[in-house]
Structure 1
Amino acid sequence: MAPVTDGDTLLLHFTSTRPDGEVFEDTRSGEPVRVTLGGNRINPLFEEALIGKEPGETVTVSLPPEKAYGKFNRKLVVTVKRTKLKLDHEPVVGEFVRVEVLGKPCLVTVLDVDEKYITVDANHPLAGETITYAITVEAILPREG
């Protein structure tokens, strides 16, 4: 069979890990993910790494923070008065809550809670981390037409 080329539709399995080796995403227990290369649907570095691979091959791609979930931004960690957040429940440290930031809904992580204030983090939970992906080409699907 011919190797992967731009425009191919692939069935892929992948495992995503943090720098400490913790797996936070693994498709191997389910159906493979269907992806067409060249459609700007996956990270360009993944596409580049997959070109030339054959079914059964696995490629490992490590993305630095700026290519993955972004650098950690200290300005996105803020302490606000409880009354401003307008929560309908008692927040718990580690919980994700939806709040409005500049008129738009935003999902933030609760970092600290006291009687008057709540500290939240609007960074992505994986911001600042290098993420490693092990991507296996399960199949190259026939081109239509």
Structure 2
Amino acid sequence: MNISADKAITINYTLKDNEGKLIDESKDSSFIYLHGHHNIIPGLESALNDKTKGDTFDLVLEPKDAYGEYNPAITQVINSSAFGDEKVEVGMQFHAEGDDGQPVLITVSEINGDDVTIDGNPPLAGVTLNYSVEVMDVRDATEEELSHGHIHAHGESCGHNH
């Protein structure tokens, strides 16, 4: 069965940066997603089209096909008092509401005295991604998975009232 829209895909992958540093990896067929529903980055989803169970491949994705270019315009320096009594450290992450009302992941990227630099870029923005991928399984998604737009692990409900 070839990978196409509305299929439940299980892959194993290793993700490294251009220096060979491990960024992420799946283990034991633990990464399952619904193909064609924007549940993974565009370049990887596109590369998986028409692959079949057992296929392996390496893929280099430039930022435009992954998490986008780094945008310095979505960083901001705020006063540490905005965090109240919470101890703020570089690398801390929290969610804020974006201009479109959707949650945005914000990362504390620098602290200089009372000045805290926050960054709304995805952590891998501007990074060239190097994937090694193995397609472990391809199956038809269930009606429930299709209606919800994502895969339910081991046939379980996702717990959302869709």
TM-score, reference length from structure 2: 0.66
Tell me how far 1:100 sits from its aligned partner: 6.3
Q: Flag structure 2 segments of 5+ consecutive residues without an equivalent.
A: 143-162
Secondary structure at the aligned position of 1:108 is classed as strand
Q: Provide the residue aligned with 1:90 in structure 2.
A: 87
Tell me the distance in 2 between the aligned counterparts of 1:53 and 1:25. 22
Q: Provide the residue aligned with 1:66 in structure 2.
A: 64
Match for 1:86: what amino acid?
Answer: F
Mapping for residues 1-145 of structure 1, pairs under 5 Å: 4-7=2-5, 8-28=7-27, 30-83=28-81, 85-98=82-95, 106=104, 107-114=106-113, 116-141=114-139
Kindly, what percent of the aligned residue pairs are identical? Answer: 23
Larger Rg belongs to:
1
Match for 1:59: what amino acid?
Answer: F
Q: Flag structure 1 segments of 5+ consecutive residues without an equivalent.
A: none
Deviations 1:19-64 (CA, angstroms, capped at 9, x unpaired): 2222222112x44323343344334433442344333221222221
Aligned residue pair count = 140
Tell me the distance in 2 between the aligned counterparts of 1:110 and 1:128. 15
Deviations 1:82-141 (CA, angstroms, capped at 9, x unpaired): 23x233322122332455676966422241230x32222222221111112222111233
